[in-house]
Amino acid sequence: MKQNLVIVESPAKAKTIEKYLGKEYKVLSSFGHVRDLPKKGLNIDVANRFKPTYAVSPDKTKVIKELKAAVANASDIYLASDEDREGEAISWHLAQALKLDVKTTKRIVFHEITKSALEQAIKNPRTIDINLVDAQQARRILDRLVGYELSPVLWKKVRTGLSAGRVQSVSVRIIVEREREIKDFEAKSFYKVTAELKNKNGEISATLDKNLDSKADVINLFNKLKDSQLIVSSIDKKPGKRSPGAPFTTSTLQQEASRKFGFSPRQTMSVAQRLYEGGHITYMRTDSTTLSSLAIEMANKYILDNFGKDYAHSVQYKTKDNAAQEAHEAIRPTDFHKTSISGENQEVKLYKLIWERALASQMAPAQIEKTELKIKIPGSTNYFLAKGEILVFPGFFKVYGSTKDDVILPPIANGESLDLVKALATESFSKPPARYSEASLVRKLEELGIGRPSTYAPTVSTIQSRGYVEKVDIEGKNKEINLLKLTGNNIEESIESIVTGSDSNKLVPTPVADITTDFLKKYFKDILDYRFTAKVEDDFDKIADGKEDWQTMLDKFYKDFHPLVEKSESATREEVSKAKHLGPDPKTQQPIIARFGRYGLMLQRGETESEDKPDFAPFPEGFTLDDITLEAALKMFALPRIVGKTDDGEDIIANIGRFGPYIKIKSTFVSIKDKDPFKITLEEAKVIYGEKLEQIANKYIVEFPSGVKIANGPYGPYITDGKKNARINKDTDPKTIKEKQAIELLKKAPAKKKFKRKKKK
C-alpha cells in the first residue's frame, strides 16, 4: 500500500511530524539544501541574465537517490520545508532534483509543529511560491558575485585567505568605526553630588539635579550648604506604569539570551531550532511581533486560570513596516499550558525565557506610584531631587522582568525644612561609546535594516572566523579620582583608585579589519554604505512580493559593481597596507616602515624595490599602526638576540614569531610564553630548553620493532605509525598494550585528513 510522502529538511523535524501524522504518511528528511552553486567557479552566466548553474551537493547524492525511490512509491508528495524564503528555495531545489512538477507538486507550510497545525496544512496545500524562490536566488547569486569578484581583490591587495561579503563587510565596518570613535574619544571629568538628608520621620537620599564641572564648583556648592536649611519646594506624586515588551523576534531573542545566559547568536539559534523541531515553540526565524488569535486566546485562558482577570490584558503588537519578511508569528510556545520542558539545560532555559516573554506580553502593565521631592538650596540655582517608587500592582512582573525593591520616602510636607547629614561629590569621567557585543551588533544590524533573521547569527560568526574581529575581555585601567565630603561644616578631600574600562566578551577589530575597511570604503563605497546595503534587502523584499524582477535587480547592481572591481586593480599594495614611514635608521640610514604583512602588522627596514633585501622585525606589543614610534620600532630590530650558549656550545637565540616570543636552538623552537625576549637570561633559557628536551625524551611510552609507537600527546596517549594515529581508551593503561593490539587499533582508526594547499589564482 502506497503512503503519502512528506519531505522536510531536518531529521529531528521529520521524527516529530511523523508522530503526529500517523501511519498513512511517511516523513523523510533532505538534510537541508540538496542543490547549490558548486564551490569551484562562479557558475553564473552573467551575459545570459545571470543564469545560475546548480548541482546536487556531493554529500547529498545518496539522499537524493533514497528520496527518488520514496517518490516512486508515494501516492501524494508534500514538500514541507520551513516557511521562509530559504525554505521555499529548498522545496524548489528538491522539486528540480527529484524531477517533480513545480506547478502541481503540493507545498505545505506551518509555523509550529503541532497536530492541529499539521492537519490544517495538509488540508490546505499550495504550490511553490516562485516569487519567494526568486528572492532567495537573487540573494544567493548577488552574494556569490560579490564574494567571487571581491575576495580575489583582497587576496592580491591585502592578504590571502580573506573573504568579503555584502553584509559581512558592512558588519566589520560598523565595528571598526566604533573602535575609532572610542580611540578618538576624549574623556571629560565631572562631579556627581549626592546627599543624605533627614527630617523627624527618617532619612532621605537625594541627588543634585545636574553634575558639576569642576572641584571649584563643588567647593562653592558645599560652602552654600554649610549651616543652610534645605527646604522641600515641591512634592510631585503621580501614578506610573511599566508595560511588557512584545513577544520575541529572532533579533530580540538573541539579544535577551545573550544578556541573561551569555549565549552567542549562533548558540541561541541552534537551541531554538531544537525547540522548534521538538514541537515546543513556533518558527524561530521571524521579524514579526504579532501573535495569532488562537495564541492570544490560549495565553488569556492561562492568565485567567492562574492569576485572575486583573492580570489579563490581550494586545496585538504591530510589526515595523519594513520588517516582516513572511507572514510569521512572533516566537512563542506552541502550548502556553506547558510551563516547562524536559531536555538539555540550554533548551530548558531558553524555552522558559520564550514562554515568560510571550505570556507577559498578554498581561496587564505593572502599576507604580512615583513620588519626587524637589529640595531647594539657599543661594543656588541647583536643587536636590529625591525619588520614591512603590509597586502598587505587579501585573506582568508576575512572570517576566524584575521588581526592584520599593524606595519609600518618609512622611514629609511641602515647605518642610530638612537637615543635611552629609554630602558627597565623586569625580567621574564621561565614557566613550560602548564596544559591540554579539547581541548589540545584531541589534545594530536590525536597526540599519541590514540582513534578515536568518543572516544575523552566521554573519556574526563569519566575521570572527575570518579573522576580522576578535571577541575579547577588555582589561580595565587604574585611575585616581577625587572625592569631596561635607559633614557639618568640614570639607574633606581624598583620592581613591578605581578600575575603569573593563568589559567582557566585546567585539574588537583586528588590524586586517582596519585595512580592509579603508580599502573597501575607498574603492567600493556603495558596497559598504549602510543605506545601500539596506536598500538591497528592500529589493529582495520587492522580489518576494512579486513587485520586481530578480534578474533586472541583479543587472542594475552588477552594472555599478563590476566597474569598481576593475578600478580597484590600480591600488598598490603599499597604499592598501597603509605603509607608514617612521624615519631613517640612525646606523644604516635605511627607512623604517611599519605596515601590514601576511600575518599582520610588521616592521621593515629598507625598501622592497631596492637591490638589497630589506630586514623585517615583529611589531611591538601594545602599539597600533597609528601610534607606533621610530624609537619603539628600532628596538625590535635588535631581535633576534643571542642569549648565550647551551652546555653543548649551541647558540640560544631569542625572538618573537607569529605565535609569540620563543627561543631557538639549532632547529628546535621553544615558546617562552610570558618571558621578554629582550630580557630573558641565559639561566632561564637553559631551564626552559631543558624542560623541552625532557618532554621530547618522554614523548614515546613504548616503541615496537615494527615502527609503531605509543606516544604522549597534548590530549593524552595515542598510537601512531607516523601516517595514522589511533586513540587509546581513557581506562586503558598504554603500557599494557601489545604490538599486535596496537597494529589492530591503527587499522581501525580513520585516515588522517590530507591538507590541500589552495592554488593561487
Closest CA to 359 of 340, 332, 329: 332
Among 91-95, 165-169, 257-261, 366-370, the least confident range: 165-169
Q: What confidence score (pLDDT) does residue 94 get?
A: 96
Instruction: Identify whether residues 51 and 102 lie together within a single domain.
Output: yes
Position 452 pLDDT exceeds 90: no
Which H/E stretch holds residue 74?
strand 74-79
pLDDT for res 629:
92
Q: Does 482 reside within a domain?
A: no
Co-location of 622 and 652 in the same domain: no
- Angle in degrees, CA 183, 189, 195, rounded to 5: 140
Per-residue pLDDT, 758 = 42
Q: Are 720 and 745 in contact (CB under 8 A)?
A: no
Determine the average pLDDT of the residues in 557-571.
88
- State pLDDT tens for residues 180-236: 999 899 999 999 999 999 999 999 999 999 999 999 999 999 999 987 889 999 999
C-alpha cell at 288: 514579526
Residues 346, 347, 350, 356: what is their CA dihedral angle, to the nearest 10 degrees?
-130
What pLDDT does 338 receive? 95
The least confident of 202-206, 268-272, 446-450 is 446-450
**DSSP assignment of 363-399:** BPPEEEEEEEEEEE-TT-S-EEEEEEEEEEE-GGGGT
pLDDT in tens, 645-684: 998 899 999 998 877 889 999 888 899 877 888 889 999 9
Last residue of a domain, one of 128, 144, 169: 128
Q: Is residue 14 one of the residues assigned to a domain? A: yes
Pick the closest to residue 654 from 681, 614, 633 (CA basis): 681
Domain with 391, as residue range(s), is 189-237+378-429
Residues 28 and 123 in one domain: yes
Beta-carbon contacts of residue 719 (< 8 Å; ≥ 6 apart): 708, 709, 710, 711, 725, 726, 727, 728, 737, 742, 745, 746, 749
- Do 200 and 101 share a structural domain? no
Instruction: Tell me the three state secondary structure of residue 57.
Output: coil
* Closest by Cα among 343, 346, 330 to 266: 346
Average pLDDT over every residue of 67-96: 93
The string of pLDDT tens digits covering residues 712-739 is 887 889 999 888 899 898 888 888 999 9
Helices (H), 428-579: 438-448, 453-465, 511-523, 530-544, 550-568, 573-576
Burial 107-126 (b: 16+ CB within 10 A, else e): bbbbbbbbeebbeebbeeee
Q: Confirm whether 488 is domain-assigned.
A: no
Instruction: Say if CB 16 and CB 112 are below 8 A apart.
Output: no
Quick one: pLDDT at residue 327? 54
Cα–Cα distance, 211 to 443 (Å, whole number): 31
Give the pLDDT mean for 395-416.
Answer: 86
pLDDT value at residue 61: 94
Residues 627 and 647 in one domain: no
Residue 753 has what pLDDT? 61
Residue 321, Cβ neighbours under 10 Å: how many?
6
DSSP assignment letter at 401: S
Report the pLDDT value the prediction gives residue 730, as an integer from 0 to 100.
83
Domain boundary residue, one of 600, 616, 636 = 636
373 located within any domain: no
Segment 304-316 mean pLDDT: 95
Shared domain check, 114 and 21: yes
What is the pLDDT confidence band of residue 367, given thresholds at 50, 70 and 90? Answer: very high
Nearest Cα to 652, choosing from 622, 621, 675?
A: 675
Catalytic residues: 283
pLDDT confidence bin for 404, thresholds 50/70/90? low
Whether residue 753 is contained in a domain is answered as no
Q: Stretch 335-358: mean pLDDT, rounded?
A: 96
User: Looking only at Cα atoms, what is the longest distance across the chain?
Assistant: 100
d(CA 31, CA 22): 22
pLDDT tens column, 42-71: 999 999 999 999 999 999 999 999 999 999
pLDDT beyond 70 at 755: no
N-to-C CA span, the chain: 56
Identify whether 716 is part of a domain. Answer: yes
Question: What's the rounded mean pLDDT across residues 369-373?
Answer: 94
For residue 369, is it within any domain? no
| Pair 691, 732 in one domain | no
Tell whether 88 and 155 lie within a shared domain. no
Q: What is the pLDDT of residues 489-503, one digit of tens each?
A: 999 999 999 988 888
Backbone angles phi, psi at 116, to 5 degrees: -65, -40
Please tell me the predicted confidence (pLDDT) of residue 291.
Answer: 92
How confident is the model over 597-608, as a mean pLDDT? 81
Alpha carbon distance 301, 474 (integer Å) = 48
Residue 171: CATH number of its domain:
1.10.460.10
Number of separate domains in the chain: 7
| pLDDT over threshold 50, residue 324 | no
The predicted pLDDT at position 457 comes to 92
Phi, psi dihedrals of residue 476, rounded to the nearest 5°: -80, 165
* Cα separation, 471 vs 27, whole angstroms: 41
**pLDDT value at residue 694:** 83
Residue whose C-alpha is closest to residue 591's, from 577, 573, 572, 604: 604
Residue 53 included in any domain: yes
**Are both 198 and 92 inside the same structural domain?**
no
Q: Residue 551 and residue 145: Cα distance in Å, rounded?
A: 13
Residue matched to cell numbers 573602535: 179
The answer to whether 464 and 520 are in contact (CB under 8 A) is: no
Do residues 122 and 37 share a domain?
Answer: yes
What is residue 163's predicted lDDT score, i.e. its pLDDT? 83
Torsion-angle region of residue 30: left (phi > 0), alpha (psi -120 to 50) or beta? alpha
297 has pLDDT over 70? yes
Mean pLDDT throughout 323-347? 84
Answer yes or no: do 26 and 122 share one domain.
yes
Strand 74-79 versus strand 106-107 pairing type: parallel
Q: Which residues, 6+ apart, have CB-to-CB distance to 370 below 8 Å?
A: 237, 238, 239, 240, 387, 388, 389
| C-alpha cell, 352 | 522558559
Does 231 share its domain with 299? no
pLDDT at 756: 47
Catalogue the E-assigned strands of 9-73: 25-29, 35-36, 44-45, 51-52, 55-56
